[in-house]
Amino acid sequence: MLDSEINEQLTAAANVGEGDVVLEIGPGTGSLTDVLINAGAFVLAIEKVVCDPHMATLVSERFAETERFKVVANIPFNISTDVVKQLLPMGDIFSDVVLLLQVGIILLIYHCKIILF
């Protein structure tokens, strides 16, 4: 997302501040990454999501002592469903999850036309 206003809104919605650890999925050109870093966050940016059943355990153990672990991402349409499916079981390790999703994905989730679990 190259629109800096949207990136600022995503960062504000997650209350990103100094010392926060933020997982950014799909950093692309890094425009959101810049805003997150300027807000004082440590950003772990993942460009390609690989579905790994052990990811929840790994992330949970690695960041067990981190109270302010957040996810902020502008998710590409073609991986939106998979990303949401991966993030939901890990919800207890995130203090905030702010995703910019296309309307079509939101409607699918809202109308339960996809199985999330």
Per-residue pLDDT tens digits for 65-94: 656 578 888 887 788 888 888 777 777 777
9 within domain boundaries: yes
41 within domain boundaries: yes
27 within domain boundaries: yes
> Residue 110: phi, psi to the nearest 5?
-60, -40
d(CA 73, CA 13): 11
d(CA 47, CA 102): 18
| CATH code of 9's domain | 3.40.50.150
117 within domain boundaries: no
Q: Find the domain containing 35 and state its range.
A: 4-110
Element (H, E) at 69: strand 69-74
Q: Are 66 and 43 in contact (CB under 8 A)?
A: no
Q: What is the pLDDT of residues 26-72, one digit of tens each?
A: 777 788 888 998 999 988 877 654 555 555 565 556 556 656 578 88
The number of distinct structural domains making up the chain is: 1
Residue (of 84, 87, 90, 88) closest to 104 by Cα position = 84
115 within domain boundaries: no
